[in-house]
Amino acid sequence: MKKTLAALIVTAFAASAANAAVVYDNEGTKVELNGSLRVIMEKADKKEYDAANHSTKKSNSALRNAGSRFGITVKHNLDNDFYALGRVEFRFDDTTSRDKFGGVYAKRAYVGLGSKAIGELKFGRQLTIADDLTQANDYDYGFIPKEEYIPTAGTGVVRYDYKGIEGLQLSANYNFGQTNDEKGNPLKPGIKNAYAVGALYTVGDLDARLAYGHTNFETGASYAHRLDGVLASLGYKFGDFTLTGDFAYGHEKFDDEKTNKFYVAPGFAYQVLPASKVYGNYLYERVKGENTKDKTHGFLLGADYQLHKQVVLFVEGKYVTTKEYVNDTYDGKTKDRAIGVGMRVFF
């Protein structure tokens, strides 16, 4: 009974977050509105140590925006099972204000055509398949750096998804050149072009995901700067307990300099009560270049409680350390710690 109730609540919450309020539905045209307000109260600090172990510290406490958004989706049914769609999604964090509520900008904006039989093709400012390539639980302090292996979004993306086989999703995307992010801030380095292919497969209690991506960066010179990345993720449910594992490998070449990197990130989630779970994950990442080497260890632990199918409270904390080496000699480290209490209200 407990497992059944937990499953129903989780399903209802996921559906409420994914589904939207229908504000217009007539003659094959549907307009939906959805979004969420997300606020977190946090305490954070960051310490940096040099090779002689001298340190500098930056501390911060804030009550801030944690990804609040709203969006509008329009869908028109066409002939022979085809449809046209468009979506725009706005965020509020284009600001230097401490509370992170400020200028509104379009985080996502795309149009597309689709069919249940042949799949969906979208064009515009959107996510790529790489965004789906983690299964670790987190609300705000997730530290798995998948976007450093394959771009997880872009301002000019063509994406295709096929979901015609139950439990299987196949996806491919191409990113056009990008020199600024969604807020207009410069990317360093800019992206010349990129592409990725991936697959998501769910059967029973098993969830398996895999993607490969190739990115060419702008150099302003005759030499090349490129990155090949692979992301993988596995998850398995044992009743109320879920084990996950996220993995990545990247090979980067900048002129004649080569860098290899990888991470492993095991995690868990346990549904303690029908409306509450605890979760955690660990990250180990190593980045090794011609003369440098960085090692990162990260720990995250959290718990949530659903007050309503569209309201969730959570507490979450992280502790991440990175050590840097030059020619196998210790060159300093960084400690990044934070703990926060947050709330999300969906509509």
Whole-structure pTM value: 0.91
Q: How far is CA 2 from CA 7, 204, 272, 307, 330, in A?
A: 9, 19, 10, 17, 52
**Residue 30: in which H helix or E strand, if any?**
strand 29-49
Say how far apart CA 292 and CA 284 lie, in whole Å: 17
pLDDT by position in tens, the chain (length 347): 334 333 433 443 343 445 689 999 998 999 999 999 999 999 999 999 988 888 898 999 999 999 999 999 999 999 889 999 999 999 999 999 999 999 999 999 999 999 989 999 999 999 999 999 999 999 999 999 999 999 999 999 999 999 999 999 999 999 999 999 999 999 989 999 999 999 999 999 999 999 999 999 999 888 999 999 999 999 999 999 999 999 999 999 999 899 999 999 999 999 999 999 999 999 999 999 988 899 999 999 999 999 999 999 999 999 999 999 998 888 899 999 999 999 999 99
Check which CATH number belongs to the domain holding 116 and give it: 2.40.160.10
Domain containing residue 158: 2-346
Provide the number of structural domains found in the chain.
1
